[in-house]
């Protein structure tokens, strides 16, 4: 415990760590306020923007919160009507959260921007809408609440995770390499605990700091949204808060609350995986500079893997123009691209920054692989991430204990 506290103090007492952590939180706050400024609401001819728009939308939605029925839809339209006017530069109509929702999901109108817009003229029975049919497929009632804030939450979470990952790369990459650079490694032999205990203490401190950064970032994000947007809408179906709407995969055919919990757990896995990879690189480097650079390169490597995957697929299509490949070769290619895609998405950069990473993973399909609900790719990708986390942690321990004996 003494070594663990000492290593934890060495990581956290640095002014650069505290400054970096503050910068991450301020960065998230900046983008949160930017999104908040874009909020818009019109009630009884009065326009509201920013925080006032959010408060007004929450206030008028409280009356209709709960299971949505055709009778509620009619009451909303009687009270507020359909949105009026034409889309502005932000694709907004003169309406509020209630009548915009009805227009989007339960009417004959739509708003895809200033050049693709059709005014709503009548409501459609919920059972005949895509919204109603999607809920039937999911085995859920159409629950309605003010869910708009959770869409913004996902945006802010991605920004915070990007900042947190940069901070972890900088702080954790020196856990082992700093001892080598400063010449403090021989002193490990003078402690009664020995190099093994010190190595475990370093690894535990690195994971503690990484978890602490994740916990503080996500708590800050949740607190901001709870204060401004509230916590309503957690029982709404998850498809409403993503950019995929009613995509037929299990991760979307569940409540928003469960989906957000899964997103947070995936982000935690990404943070811990990033920490494990970084300490593994640190254990193999002899200077802090080399460790930081190597960790940064490895962090961005999946983008190169994605580009390589697209190039190989394009090459395969070109070669297939004149002569159709053998079925066995196609099966082998399908497995290769499937596993390569799962490997790319299992990297920390995708697990942390990709906004709808679970949906994108579920869409990985090659031939007959991952047919059906798409969860096979999700399980495969998360399993690869966990295996990589454990492998890097064990490798870092064995490597540093080994060089301590040299």
Same domain, 252 and 360: yes
Same domain, 380 and 317: yes
State which residues form the domain around 124: 66-144
Give the residue from 214, 270, 215, 300 showing the smallest Cα distance to 386.
270
For 223-250, what is each residue's pLDDT tens digit?
999 999 999 999 999 989 988 878 888 8
Contact 275, 206 (CB under 8 A): yes
Same domain, 164 and 227: yes
Distance between CA atoms of residues 248 and 239, nearest Å: 9
Same domain, 107 and 127: yes
What is the pairing mode between strands 66-67 and 143-144? antiparallel
> What percentage of the chain has pLDDT greater than the value 90?
42
For 298-334, what is each residue's pLDDT tens digit?
888 888 888 888 888 887 777 666 666 667 777 788 8
Same domain, 84 and 196: no
Could you tell me if residue 41 is inside a domain?
no
Same domain, 220 and 173: yes
* Angle ∠(120,125,131) on CA atoms, nearest 5: 85
> What percentage of the chain has pLDDT greater than the value 70?
89
The per-residue pLDDT for 189 is 47
What sections of 81-193 are H helices per DSSP? 97-105, 130-138, 148-172, 177-182
What is the pairing mode between strands 143-144 and 110-111? unpaired
- The widest CA-to-CA distance across the chain, in whole angstroms, is 82
Q: How many domains does the chain have?
A: 2
For 245-277, what is each residue's pLDDT tens digit?
788 888 889 999 999 999 999 999 999 999 999
Could you tell me if residue 308 is inside a domain?
yes
Same domain, 237 and 304: yes
Query: Range with the lowest mean pLDDT among 63-72, 147-156, 369-378?
Result: 369-378
In this prediction, residue 179 has a pLDDT band, given cuts at 50, 70 and 90, of low
What is the pairing mode between strands 110-111 and 117-118? antiparallel
Please give the C-alpha separations between residue 145 and each of 54, 55, 86, 225, 266, in angstroms, as whole numbers: 13, 14, 26, 15, 26
Same domain, 112 and 228: no
Residue 268 tokens read as 């935690």
Final residue before a domain boundary, out of 144, 176, 195: 144
Same domain, 160 and 276: yes
Judged against a pLDDT cut of 50, whether residue 114 lies above it is answered with yes
111 Cα distance to chain centroid: 27
Same domain, 216 and 352: yes
Please give the C-alpha separations between residue 14 and each of 150, 170, 181, 222, 336, in angstroms, as whole numbers: 34, 12, 17, 27, 44
Residue 231 tokens read as 């916590």
Same domain, 102 and 235: no
Would you list the DSSP string of 262-306?
A: HHHHHHHHHHHHHHHHHHHHHHT-SSHHHHHHHHHHHHHHHHHHH
Final residue before a domain boundary, out of 111, 144, 177: 144
For 21-59, what is each residue's pLDDT tens digit?
999 999 999 999 988 988 889 998 889 999 999 999 999
Integer-rounded Cα Rg, in Å, for the chain is 25
Could you tell me if residue 303 is inside a domain?
yes
Mean pLDDT along residues 197-222 = 89
Give the residue from 115, 83, 119 showing the smallest Cα distance to 99.
83
Residue 266 tokens read as 């995936």
Final residue before a domain boundary, out of 144, 165, 186: 144
- Of 40-44, 180-184, 197-201, 363-367, the range with the highest mean pLDDT is 40-44
């Amino acid at each position: 415990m003494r070594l663990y506290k000492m290593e934890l103090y060495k990581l956290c007492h640095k002014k650069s760590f505290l400054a970096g952590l503050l910068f991450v939180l301020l960065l998230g706050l900046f983008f949160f306020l930017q999104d908040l400024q874009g909020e818009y609401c019109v009630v009884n001819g009065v326009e509201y923007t920013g925080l006032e728009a959010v408060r007004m939308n929450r206030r008028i939605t409280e009356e209709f919160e709960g299971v949505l029925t055709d009778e509620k839809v009619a009451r909303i339209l009687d009270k507020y009507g359909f949105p009026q006017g034409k889309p502005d530069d932000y694709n907004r109509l003169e309406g509020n959260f209630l009548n915009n929702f009805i227009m989007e999901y339960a009417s004959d109108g739509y708003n895809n921007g200033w050049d693709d817009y059709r005014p709503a003229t009548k409501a459609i029975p919920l059972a005949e809408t895509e919204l109603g049919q999607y809920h039937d497929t999911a085995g859920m009632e159409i629950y309605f609440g003010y869910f708009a804030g959770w869409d913004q939450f996902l945006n802010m979470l991605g920004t915070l995770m990007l900042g947190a990952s940069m901070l972890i790369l900088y702080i954790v990459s020196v856990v082992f390499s700093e001892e080598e650079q400063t010449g403090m490694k021989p002193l490990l032999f003078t402690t009664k605990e020995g190099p093994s205990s010190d190595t475990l203490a370093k690894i535990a401190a690195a994971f503690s700091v990484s978890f602490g950064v994740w916990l503080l970032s996500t708590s800050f994000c949740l607190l901001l949204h709870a204060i401004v947007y509230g916590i309503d809408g957690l029982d709404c179906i998850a498809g409403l808060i993503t950019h995929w709407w009613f995509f037929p995969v299990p991760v979307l055919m569940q409540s928003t609350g469960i989906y957000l919990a899964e997103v947070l757990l995936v982000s935690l896995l990404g943070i811990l995986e990033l920490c494990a990879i970084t300490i593994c690189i640190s254990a193999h480097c002899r200077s802090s500079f080399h460790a930081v650079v190597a960790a940064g390169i490895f962090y961005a490597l999946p983008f190169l893997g994605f580009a390589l995957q697209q190039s190989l697929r394009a090459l395969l299509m070109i070669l297939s123009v004149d002569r159709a490949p053998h079925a066995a070769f196609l099966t082998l290619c399908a497995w290769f691209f499937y596993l390569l895609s799962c490997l790319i998405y299992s990297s920390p950069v995708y697990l942390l920054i990709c906004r709808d990473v679970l949906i994108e993973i579920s869409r990985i399909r090659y031939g007959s692989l991952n047919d059906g609900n798409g969860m096979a790719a999700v399980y495969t990708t998360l399993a690869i991430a966990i295996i990589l986390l454990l492998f890097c942690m064990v490798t870092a321990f064995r490597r540093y204990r080994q060089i301590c004996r040299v």
